[in-house]
Every structure is written in C-alpha cells, then in structure tokens.
C-alpha cells in the first residue's frame, strides 16, 4: 500500500484487569508518542504536564471509562525485542516516541499489591501469567 510506505505498525493492548484485553493496530509515522497512539484507539483522560508541582509529563487517568482512584492506576509497557520482553519505560507516555514497529500495552492495576504489579506484565490474565522482562511470548 503506497499510503503506508513511511509508516510503522503499533500493536496496542489494553488490559482492563478483568481478563478482558483489547487489541488494536495503529499505523503512524515514526516518532509518534505512546500517548498519541493510545488516543487513536481508546477514549482516554489524562493529566498533562504540571512542572510547577514537580510532576513532569502526562499521566493517564482513565481509559474507556476505567478510572484511576485510590485503589487503581494505569501503567504502560513496551515490548522490547532486544531484551527479554515487557519493560516499563522510564518516561511518561507523552515523552516516549515509538520509532519502529512495536507493541505497547496498558494495564489497569489494583494498588493493593505493589509486589504483584512489579512481577507480572501487562497481558497477564488468570490463564496466562506474563512476567515483566521474562516473557518472550509473541502476542
């Protein structure tokens, strides 16, 4: 297809934490931010950069009606094919630029167990636990 010639394919996964994982594909120009890619496939709410309060970068506060509250939060992950699997980027999603074909996943976490959040990856469900930096499954 001629119109996709200088585009990259981004697979976006959204795990709502109830064994319901939404998968969408986005065709975009290289350098698109992870937040912008998410906006193309879901109804989102986010808090923009508030540098005056030492909060740098955007934070997603809701995806398709699943809102952040005292017990829930969203984290995004990138599948790093050069490492062993899913990693948590060290920057906010409005600063992470996707430069090549990639997989980006968002997971709605329950804050009751920080240990579980650090151990399991974005696509873990009851029947398949994908561990961060350990899972090489090609979703």
- 87 found inside a domain: yes
Q: Which range marks the domain in which residue 49 is found?
A: 10-118
pLDDT at 45 over 70: yes
- 3 found inside a domain: no
- 39 found inside a domain: yes
pLDDT over 90 percentage in the chain: 49
Q: What confidence tier does 129 reach under pLDDT thresholds 50, 70, 90?
A: very low
Residue 128 · residue 73 · CB < 8 Å: no
**What pLDDT shows up at residue 111?**
72
pLDDT at 107 over 70: yes
Q: How many domains would you assign to the chain?
A: 1
Alpha carbons 78 and 89: distance in angstroms, whole number: 7
Q: Which of 14-23, 115-124, 129-138 has the lowest mean pLDDT?
A: 129-138
Q: Which of 12-16, 106-110, 121-125 has the lowest mean pLDDT?
A: 121-125
Residue 77 · residue 60 · CB < 8 Å: no
- 124 found inside a domain: no
The CATH number linked to 15 is: 2.170.130.30
- 131 found inside a domain: no
- 132 found inside a domain: no
- 135 found inside a domain: no
Rounded to 10 degrees, the C-alpha dihedral 44/80/131/103 comes to: 40
Classify residue 114 by burial, with Cβ atoms within 10 Å: 0-12, 13-18, 19+.
Answer: exposed
- 2 found inside a domain: no
pLDDT tens digits, residue range 57-86?
898 999 999 999 888 889 999 997 777 788
Placement of tokens 């950069």 in the chain? 49
């Amino acid at each position: 297809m001629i119109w996709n010639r200088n585009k990259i394919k981004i697979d976006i996964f959204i795990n709502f934490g109830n064994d319901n994982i939404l998968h969408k594909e986005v065709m975009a120009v290289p350098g698109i931010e992870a937040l912008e890619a998410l906006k193309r496939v879901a109804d989102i709410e986010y808090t923009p950069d508030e540098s005056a309060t030492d909060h740098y970068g955007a934070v997603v506060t809701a995806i398709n009606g699943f809102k952040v509250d005292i017990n829930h939060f969203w984290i995004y992950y990138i599948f790093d094919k050069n490492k062993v699997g899913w990693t948590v980027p060290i920057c906010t999603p409005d600063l992470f630029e996707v430069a090549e074909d990639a997989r980006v996943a968002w997971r709605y976490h329950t804050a009751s167990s920080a240990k579980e959040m650090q151990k399991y990856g974005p696509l873990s469900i009851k029947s398949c636990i994908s561990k961060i930096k350990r899972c090489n499954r090609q979703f």
